[in-house]
Amino acid sequence: MDLQGIKAALSLGGGILKDVVGIDFGTTGTRAVRMSRTGAALSITRVWSGPEAGSGAFILPRELRAYAGVLAVSHPDIVSKLLSIPRPSNKLDDVPIADLLGITDPTAFRIAIEIQDSTAAETHALIAAIPDALARSTLSSFAQGFPAPQSLEVAGLAAINGMVLGNPAIREQGAILLDLGAETATVAIIVSQKLAFTRQFRIGANAIMRKLGESLGMDGDTAREAVGEGLVDAVDQVQAAYEPLARQINLGRDFVSRRHNVRTEHLVISGGLFQTPFWSHPLEAALGVEATVWNPFSVLPVTPGALTPELVAQGCRFAAAVGAAAAALEIKKP
């Protein structure tokens, strides 16, 4: 049976997508970006932001309804790691992937593996595991009609992939990449034109703000506004709140430095917290690097009228939606 032929016949656009909507189901809201490809050029044609999605069917505004959709989800129980496995890629069948990810019940997860590179002695693989219940509930929202789901992505990885696709200099020069969500942080480090480290941590913006608020005698939202807008001077408290995340990033950077003999000195960040410029500065100080906030709306071509000034300012919140869509439209090299 020609499974590849059947798969190609069923694919939208003859197997090569040219129009897709990326949807990020975030903790604080849902964000969607419709993108198209003409030749090798990508462009953003529609952008939408709405409330957090509930159960049941999910209905996008009509202008966002491309035939194909790529979905991005985040959850503290998602696991994503770059693993070094002492085997060639054609001998991974009996490798206990779930054990390597720290998963005790593999039937409760959907696990995917992407080979980064492989030799006769070692394989570097990016592995992600999404809770099956989360996957089912997300996909059930698209049981009929359009967009038809093409893939289910880890939001943090989608955001980081979008950074690399949208800024080729990252692959060439190397960087620490951070997507800071409400409940999790996804960190990747690229050196020597390849992925050298990836990990998701249960340290999100909410936890950082809660810790800051506790130290100031405020709730997290009040602390975020008061400190971020410069109404309260809390340098020491902010550094203490960031310390758990900065420590994990530094551990990853030290690991990469020892393994590859290269130390990355640039940080690219995305996430709603960084819409306020102040919040990138504590990370720069803690890591001793220069940070750039990734706003895909200021880098990728945008169809006139697709964005309001307010949405442009929120661009760092759309990193996962843009990254998921861009990856689906990418022309893969043979």
| CA dist., res. 248 & res. 226, Å (int) | 27
Q: How confident is the model at residue 2 (pLDDT cuts 50, 70, 90)?
A: very low
| 207 three-class SS | helix
Q: How confident is the model at residue 54 (pLDDT cuts 50, 70, 90)?
A: low
CB 132 within 8 A of CB 110: yes
Amino acid making up residue 293: V
Whether pLDDT at 10 is above 60: no
For residue range 192-220, what is the model confidence (pLDDT) as tens digits? 889 999 999 999 999 999 999 999 999 98
Task: Report the side by side order of strands in the sheet with 290-293.
Answer: 109-118, 123-131, 79-85, 194-201, 185-191, 175-180, 266-270, 290-293
CB 163 within 8 A of CB 177: yes
pLDDT for 57: 59
More confident residue, 332 or 135: 135
Q: How confident is the model at residue 17 (pLDDT cuts 50, 70, 90)?
A: confident
pLDDT for 126: 95
Across residues 143-160, what is the average pLDDT?
90
Across residues 48-75, what is the average pLDDT?
84
Structural domains of the chain sorted by starting position, each given as residue range(s) with its CATH number in brackets: 1-75+133-167+296-334 (3.30.420.40), 168-293 (3.30.420.40)
Across residues 142-170, what is the average pLDDT?
90
CB 141 within 8 A of CB 103: no
| CA dist., res. 187 & res. 262, Å (int) | 17
Whether pLDDT at 1 is above 70: no
Q: pTM of the predicted model, to two decimals? A: 0.90
Q: How confident is the model at residue 254 (pLDDT cuts 50, 70, 90)?
A: very high
CB 307 within 8 A of CB 49: no
Whether pLDDT at 235 is above 70: yes
pLDDT for 56: 56
Both tokens assigned to 163? 């950074």
Whole-angstrom CA distances from 40 to 137, 147, 167, 274, 314 are 34, 23, 15, 30, 26
pLDDT for 334: 46
Q: 120, exposed or middle or buried, with CB in 10 Å at 0-12, 13-18, 19+?
A: exposed
pLDDT for 293: 96
Instruction: Evaluate the CA torsion angle 56, 62, 64, 65 in order and state its sign.
Output: positive
Whether pLDDT at 148 is above 50: yes
Both tokens assigned to 279? 């919040």
Across residues 12-37, what is the average pLDDT?
84
Instruction: Evaluate the CA torsion angle 177, 180, 181, 184 in order and state its sign.
Output: positive
Q: How confident is the model at residue 331 (pLDDT cuts 50, 70, 90)?
A: low
What do you get for the CA distance between the two ends of the chain, in Å?
A: 23
More confident residue, 145 or 84: 84
CB 246 within 8 A of CB 284: no
pLDDT for 233: 87
Q: How confident is the model at residue 15 (pLDDT cuts 50, 70, 90)?
A: low
| CA dist., res. 179 & res. 181, Å (int) | 6
